[in-house]
Chain A
Amino acid sequence: MIKIILTSMLAGSLLFSSQAGIAAENDVPYVEVGEVFQLLEENHVNKPTEPQLVTGALNQVGQEIQKLNKGKVQTDPEDDTLPELIGQLQEWEQAYLLDETDVNRWAINGMLSTLEDPHTVFFTKEELQRFEANVNNEYVGFGFRMRIQDAQLIIREVFPNSPAETAGLQPGDHLIAADGKDLKGKSFEDAYTLLQGKEGTEAVLTIFRPKENATKEFKVKRAVLSIPEVVSKPFQGDIGYIRLDTFGAEAAQEFQRHLYALSKGSKPVKGLVFDLRDNGGGYLGAAQDIASLFMEDGLLTYMQDRNGVEIARWVHNGEEIHIPVKILVNEGTASASELLSGALRDHGIATLVGTKTYGKGSAQQVIDLEEGDALKITLHQYLTPNRTVVNHVGLTPDLEVKDDIAQVIEALRSLGVKHFEVKEADGDVLINGVPFVVTHPLFKATPQGLMMRAEVFKSVMKQSEQANTDYVLIPSAVQSKIVQNSGEITLTFTDS
C-alpha cells in the first residue's frame, strides 16, 4: 500500500525558500533598486539575468549623469552583480553630488529598459494613483471632453456636475487659451500638458463661442471626475449598442445594468454591438465578471508564468446571452479587452469587426516598494481558450473594416440590419440614432460638391475594392438619399 505523504517534498521546498533576501534594514542604500532587482530576476516573465539588469542600470545612470553635463562616466564592464551595482551607484552619488532618489529611479528604469516589455513600469506614489484612477476612468480635470476639428480644439461634451459645467462652458466652445497660453493648433498631447494640473488648482480658460460670436473667459477648478465606464443605447430597430471604456472596479456592475436595460427591458434587443475600440484593458476580475454575462460556464483564458505553470481560469455560474454579438475592435483594443474578445469568439458567442487589436497578451501585478513607490511587473502571458497567442500578435478580426464609421455599419449589417440612417451633426456622427465621436468629418462640402469618406461610401454601396482616396464625391444617384438641414447632413439607405 502506498499512502503518499507529500511532506518530504514539502519539507524540501521549505529549504529552498531560505534564500538570502534583501533585508529592509535602516540605512540600506538603494533599497528599492535591490527590491526591483529581486522582483524582476525571480518573477518577471522574460527571466532577466543579473548581468543584464546590472548593465542596464549602469548604462542608464551613466547616460543621465552625462546629460547633466557632469562629465563622461566610466563603467567597468566587469561589473555584473547587484552588490557591484550598488557600490558603483554610491560612488557616483558621492562623486557627482547626486540625489539618491534620482539615481534610484534612473537605475530602476535602466533595469526595466532591458526587459523589452513596455508594460513593466516603475511608478512613484503619485504616478501609481493616477494609473489606478485611469483604470477606473477617474481623471483630474475640468470636466469636458475635446475633439480636434480643422486644427481647432472644440469642447464636445461637458460632464454633468463638473467644474466646467458650473463655470458655464458649453459643447461647441472653441478652446483658445489656458492661463494665457495658446491652445490653437495644438495636438491632444500638447493640449493635455497645458490643461492638466493637480486637483484643486484653477486655470483661466479662454474660449470662443460660435453661436454667440463671442470670446469669453472662465475661471475653472480642476476636480476628480468619475466618468462612467459603460455607455449604452438601443439603435433604431432592435439592435443594442454598448460601449465599455475600461475594465475598472465598477465595470461589471455597470455593464450588467446597461446590458439588462437593453436585453431585459420593455423592448429586448435581438442583437448586440459591443464596442471595445480603444479600451486599453484593466482588471482581470472585471473581464471575468463581464464574461459571465455572456456565458454560463466556460474557459476564459490560460495564464502562463515564467516557470511554465499554466492555470486555466474559468467562468462559472454565468448567464448565456442568447443573442448574436458583434465586438468592435481596433488597434487600441488591448489586454483585458483582447482577453474577453478572444474568449467570447472562441466560444462562438461573438465575432470581431474592425482592425487588428493591440497585441497585449500579458498580465501585470502592482507591487508596493519600500519607499512608497511601486512596480507594475509582467508576471503572466495569457492565451485564449483555443490557445491563440495574443501577445505581440493581436487578434485578427473576423470582418476586417478600417474606417470607424464603416465598422459600425458593417457590424449592424452582419446582424441583419438593412435600413440605415447616418447623420452628421455638431461634429458627431449618429448611426441609426446612436452618436459616435469622430476625429475627421464624414461629409465635406467642397466646390465640386458634397464629398464623403471613401471607406464609408464603399460600405454604403457594398463595394469591396480598396478606396484609393480619403474622400469621394458623392454621385448623383446617391444624392437623393441625402437630406441637408440647418447644418445636419443625413444619409438614409436600405440594403436590397
Chain B
Amino acid sequence: MQKRKMWKATAGLLLCALLAPQSTYAEEEVYIPFTDIWSHWAKKSIFRTVEEGMFAESKDGHFYPDRLMTRAEYLVLLDRLFLRNQQQLQPLSLLSESFLLGREDDFENPSLPYTDVNRLTWMYRPILRASLFMETLYGPDALHQVFPGKELQPAKPITKGEAARLLQVFVGAKDNAEAWQEITTRSWLNGKETDPLTRAESAVLADQVISLVDADGLLPTLDVDGTKYPLVPDIRELFPLFATYTEWKTADDDAYLQAVEAIRNRADDEKTYETLTRLSQTDYPNKVGIYYYLSWNPNTPLEDNLTNAFSALDAYFADRIVLPDTMRLLVANIYDIILQMQSEDKEIFEKTLDRLHQYESKMKKGTKEWEAFSIYLAAMEANRGDLSRTIAAYREVGETSESLRNIVYYLISQERIEEAEQELNASAGISNSPEFQTLKRGILQDLTQLKDQDSIANHLTFVLGHFQQQQDYRVEGTAALNGFRFKYWQDIDQDRQVAHTTGYYQSPRDLVLQKMESYVDAAENVEYIHHFDEQSWSLSQTNSNDYMHEWIEKQSIRTRVHELQARYEMQSFGSYDIITEWIPGDAIVEKAGTVSLENGRVVNVPLFINKYYIDRVTDQLIAHQWRYEEIYDSRQYVSYIGKESYTPNQAISIYIPEEVRKEVNNKR
C-alpha cells in the first residue's frame, strides 16, 4: 500500500513537469488556402497574418505575394490591424468599440473626402472606419494628410513610405520621418520610400505589428486604467491535476478528478466541495490539489479560502519536490485571493507578506522556483504601496523580464527616469528573444517621452493659454454621458464672458431627440437653461462642480503634473501635433479628499484621458477629445466621452435676452 503510493507520487512528479504549458507556435500544422507561397521568403509572415484574419480568403487559391499592394487593400489591412489591437491602442484611441465607428446616425455623419470611393463598394466601410480611427490618433482629416486631393485612387499601388506613415502609432514614432526610420531600422522593410509595396511585404509589416503589440511593445510602461501593474506572470493552465493519474484509479481518485472537472467547467456545486473536504480529512496523497481546489469555493468566506491556499503551499513543501510552475500557481492563487480581500482588510498585504516570508528559507535564491515565488511577493509589496520596498522586492526576484518591467515602472512612478534607463541598459543578459528586444525598444521610447515631459507640458500650457486669450470662437461637439448622447454648438463671446449653447440630445429612454439651449454668464457664475417642454427658463449656479472631471478641467497643466501625476505623450502627423494626457485614477482618488463636489466623493477612476490637437503652424488648438470614467461613493458610475472642434470667429456678440433674464428673476 505504502509502496504504491510512493510510486504514484514519483510518477506524479514526472508528469507534472510535462503538464507545464508549452509554446505551440511555429511548428504546428496550419491550413493555408494558398498555392503560391510555399517557397516564398515571406512565407512565415503570410501564414501568420492569414491565420490572424488579416487577409481575406482568396477566390482562386493564390495569394499573389509579389503583386503590388493597392492603397485600398492596404487600408483594409490597416483597419483589421486597428480592430485586432483595439484594446492595446485604447490609451491613444480612447475607443473600445471601434467596430461601431463609421455608423451614421443623428449625431455622426462620417464620410470620406474622396470622390472615387463609393459607399456601396466592399472597401468603403473598412476604409471609412480606418480613417476615423486615424482621426482620433492623428487629428482631423488624417487620411488626407497621407493621400491628399479629391481622389484616393484606391487601385494605385501604395508606396513603402506611405505604408510606413500609416503605421506610425504602432512604432511609437514621433513624426512621419521617424516612422520611416523606425520601420527600416527594425528591418521591417528595406528600399526607398518611393518604392511600391508588394503583398508579401505588407504581410511582413502586419506580422511585425502583431508581434510588437503582443510583446507589449506599445506604451509598455503606461498603466492607463491602473490594472496592469504590478505585472504578474501570465498563467495559462489554471486547473492542473497536481499529480499523475493512470488507468488504475481508486474511488477517491475518481472523486477528485470529477471535482476538478466540475470546477474547470464552472459546473461546481456544494457537492464538489464536500467531496474535497472529505478527501482532505483522509490520507489521500494529493493534498496540494485538494487544498488548491478547496480554495476555489465561492460559498466560503475569503479567509477560509486563503487558509486552504496556504495549506496547499504547505503541502507542496511537504512533498519536497521543486516544481516552479506549481509554486507559481499556488502563490498566484494566494495573491488572487488577497486582492479580493483588500477592500475589507487594508492590511492584508502586510499580513500575507509576513506569512510568506516564513517560507523563504525553504527555497534557494536564484532558482526558477524562487523567481516564481518572489515575483508575487514583490507584487504584494507594490499593492501595499511602499515604492522603495517594492523596488527592493523586485530586485530580490532576480533578472527576469517581469522583474525588469516592474522595476522600470516603479522607478518611473517616482520620476527616477535615469535610473530606469540604467536598469534597462543593464538587462541585456535576460533574453535574446525578439519579443524581449521589442519590449525593450518600447520601454526606451517611453523613457524618451518621459524625459520630455516638461517640454510637452510647457507646450500644452502655452497652447491652452493662447487659446483662452484669443477672441471669440465657436465650438462644435458631440458627447456621450451615461447613455445620453449630445450634439451641440457653442458661441463664446470672450469680451462679455457669455456663451450661448444650442443643440439636441437623445435620452436612452426616448425614441426622439430633444432640443437643448442655454446661456452661460461666466462673470455672474450662472447658467440659464431652456426647458422646451414647459417653454420656460431656469437658473443654475455654475461655481460649484458636480463631477471630478469638471474640477480637473479647471486645473492648470502644472497642477495636473505635480499634484495629479499627469503623463503626456506628443506626436506629430502632417499638419498637427497631438498631445495625449493620462491621469492615473489613484492620483485623482487621492485628491478627491480635498475637493468638494455636488455629486459626492469619487472612489475609483478607471480611465481619465485627454487628447489635444494643435495646428503646428499657428499653435492653434483645433480640437479636443476626452474619455473619463468615474465611480462615486453613491455608487453612481459616470462615463463621459466626447470630442469638440474649435473655430476662431471674429466678433461674436451674445446678449442674454431680456425676457429670459426677467423670467428667471421673477422666479427668484
Contact = CB atoms under 8 A, between A and B. Distances in A.
B118 A319 contact: yes
A306 interface: yes
Interface string A206-230: 0000000000000000000000000
Interface size class of chain A, counting residues whose CB lies under 8 Å from the partner chain:
35 or more
B68 interface: no
Nearest to A316: B111
Interface string A467-492: 00000000000000000000000000
A1 B556 CA distance: 13
Contact of A4 (B490, B512, B516): B490
A455 B184 CA distance: 76
A14 interface: yes
Interface in B76-124: 106, 109, 111-112, 114-115, 117-120, 124
Quick one: which of A256, A293, A305 has the most chain B CB within 10 A?
A: A305
Contacts of B488: 6
Contacts of B494: 1-2
A7 B549 contact: yes
Interface in B594-652: 598-599, 640
B550 A4 contact: no
Interface string A314-329: 1011110000000000
B475 interface: yes
A439 interface: no
Nearest to A18: B509
A11 B546 contact: yes
Interface in A1-18: 1-14, 16-17
A250 B518 CA distance: 44
A367 interface: yes
B553 interface: yes
Contact of B520 (A4, A12, A293, A309): A4
A373 interface: no
B501 A296 contact: no
B504 A309 contact: yes
A292 interface: yes
Given A292-B118, A305-B513, A317-B119, A5 B497 contact: no
B660 interface: no
B512 A252 contact: no
B158 to A, nearest CB: 20
A293 B120 contact: yes
Nearest to B530: A9
Given A12-B540, A253-B120, A309-B514, A4 B509 contact: no
Nearest to B481: A10
A318 B527 contact: no
A7 B550 contact: yes
Contact of B120 (A43, A252, A297, A309): A252
A289 B118 CA distance: 10
Contacts of B482: 14
Given A14-B481, A43-B511, A7 B640 contact: yes
B342 to A, nearest CB: 31
A27 to B, nearest CB: 23
Given A10-B484, A367-B511, A4 B120 contact: no
A26 to B, nearest CB: 22
A43 B529 CA distance: 22
Contact of B542 (A8, A43, A307): A8
A366 to B, nearest CB: 11
A48 B573 CA distance: 53
A7 B481 contact: yes
A236 interface: no
Contacts of A14: 481-482, 484
Nearest to B487: A311
Interface in A270-321: 289, 292-293, 296-297, 305-309, 311, 314, 316-319
Contact of B511 (A1, A17, A39): A39
A348 interface: no
Contact of A318 (B119, B508, B515, B554): B119
A77 interface: no
A377 B554 CA distance: 45
Contact of B553 (A5, A8, A318, A379): A5
B111 A309 contact: no
B625 to A, nearest CB: 15
B75 interface: no
A447 interface: no
A67 to B, nearest CB: 33
Nearest to B504: A309
B532 interface: yes
A275 B499 CA distance: 51
B511 A317 contact: no
A353 B547 CA distance: 60
B119 A307 contact: no
Interface in A361-378: 365, 367, 377
B510 interface: yes
Interface string B530-574: 001000000010100011011001100000000000000000000
B507 interface: yes
A311 B106 CA distance: 7
B511 A377 contact: yes
Interface in A30-44: 39, 42-43
Contacts of B120: 252-253, 256, 289, 292-293
A180 interface: no
Given A6-B479, A309-B515, A317-B111, A1 B509 contact: no
Contacts of A39: 511
B293 interface: no
A293 B475 CA distance: 34
A392 to B, nearest CB: 20
A21 interface: yes
Given A17-B507, A309-B512, A9 B119 contact: no
Given A43-B512, A309-B514, A317-B118, A1 B468 contact: yes
A293 B118 CA distance: 9
B326 to A, nearest CB: 50
A431 B289 CA distance: 86
Contacts of B343: none
B469 A1 contact: yes
B510 A317 contact: no
Contacts of A9: 501, 516, 518, 527, 529
B610 to A, nearest CB: 12
Contacts of B546: 7-8, 11
B512 to A, nearest CB: 4
Nearest to B492: A2
A193 to B, nearest CB: 35
Contacts of A252: 120
A307 to B, nearest CB: 5
A106 B532 CA distance: 34
Nearest to B520: A4
B273 to A, nearest CB: 34
Contacts of B554: 3
A222 B482 CA distance: 49
B480 to A, nearest CB: 10
B462 to A, nearest CB: 15
Contacts of A43: 510-512
17 contacts: A1-B494, A6-B479, A6-B501, A7-B640, A8-B542, A9-B501, A11-B599, A42-B511, A297-B111, A305-B513, A307-B504, A307-B515, A309-B513, A316-B119, A317-B115, A317-B117, A317-B118
Interface of B: 106, 109, 111-112, 114-115, 117-120, 124, 468-469, 475, 477, 479, 481-482, 484, 486, 488, 490, 492, 494, 497-499, 501, 504-505, 507-516, 518, 520, 522, 527, 529, 532, 540, 542, 546-547, 549-550, 553-554, 598-599, 640
List the 5 closest A-B pairs by CB distance, nearest first.
Answer: A316-B111, A1-B468, A305-B512, A309-B513, A43-B511
Given A5-B550, A309-B514, 12 more contacts: A1-B468, A2-B494, A3-B553, A4-B499, A8-B546, A10-B486, A289-B119, A293-B120, A307-B504, A308-B532, A311-B513, A379-B511
